Amino acid sequence: MAKPEKLAEGFLMAIRSLPRRDRELILLGLVKDRNLRHDLIDLATIEERKKEPSRPFRDYLKDRKRQA
């Protein structure tokens, strides 16, 4: 069986090669599925923010507690 990375590359290449309308139909199908939509939003957020500095979760909780 193919590794997930290779499988994903194959899917992406196939989707990119489709005419625009067909790509839109596939993406719309992904977005209409509630669970997949949430996964896509999470992954997009992670991708957008991956270069932001991180901080320990305990520090985050302390800040939240102060704000409450």
Structural domain span for residue 37: 4-67
Strand, helix or coil for residue 19? coil
Structure confidence by residue, pLDDT tens digits, 7-66: 999 999 999 999 999 999 999 999 999 999 999 999 999 999 999 999 999 999 999 999
Q: Most distant CA pair in the chain: distance in Å?
A: 52
For residue 42, what pLDDT is reported?
97
Buried b (16+ CB within 10 A) or exposed e, 2-39: eeeeeeeeeeeeeeeeeeeeeeeeeeeeeeeeeeeeee
- Show Cβ contacts of residue 23 under 8 Å, excluding neighbours closer than 6 positions: 15, 16
- pLDDT value for 1: 67
Q: How many domains does the chain have?
A: 1
What does the DSSP 8-state code read for residue 50?
T
